């Protein structure tokens, strides 16, 4: 497997709303700062979570395809390096789940 190259689209009006793009595939991953904003997961997408620089992030795919699903973790690892938190643990579930009343 070739090493994927990732690009980052940033929102100048919201410094915590980034989108990771794979240069070589159709993979796109939205980044949400859960410390600063509400997040409602899309049941048709993949969500993963991680703490970096004292903030909790949610990573959600955009129109994920089966071919791109295996690259989601490497895209998040790339982002963790980008925000200078290479040891970020990638979590499969929202760690706040136990704190939310249903």
Average pLDDT, 10 consecutive residues per value, the chain (102 residues): 82 84 94 89 96 92 92 95 93 78 42
pLDDT at position 35 is 83
Q: Which domain holds residue 23?
A: 6-91
72 in a structural domain? yes
Asked if residue 50 lies in contact with residue 91, where contact means CB atoms within 8 angstroms, the answer is yes
55 in a structural domain? yes
User: For the chain, what is the domain count?
Assistant: 1
What's the pTM? 0.88
pLDDT at position 6 is 95
102 in a structural domain? no
Strand residues in 3-64 grouped as ranges (E):
6-11, 14-22, 28-33, 47-52, 55-61
Asked if residue 16 lies in contact with residue 59, where contact means CB atoms within 8 angstroms, the answer is no
17 in a structural domain? yes
101 in a structural domain? no
């Amino acid at each position: 497997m070739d090493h994927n190259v990732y690009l980052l689209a940033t929102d100048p009006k919201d410094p915590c709303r980034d989108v990771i793009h794979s240069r070589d595939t159709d993979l796109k991953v939205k980044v949400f700062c859960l410390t600063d904003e509400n997040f409602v997961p899309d049941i048709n997408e993949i969500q993963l979570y991680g703490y970096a620089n004292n903030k909790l992030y949610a990573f959600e795919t955009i129109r994920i395809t089966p071919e791109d699903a295996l690259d989601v973790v490497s895209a998040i690892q790339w982002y963790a390096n980008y925000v200078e938190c290479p040891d970020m643990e990638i979590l499969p579930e929202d760690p706040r789940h136990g704190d939310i009343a249903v």
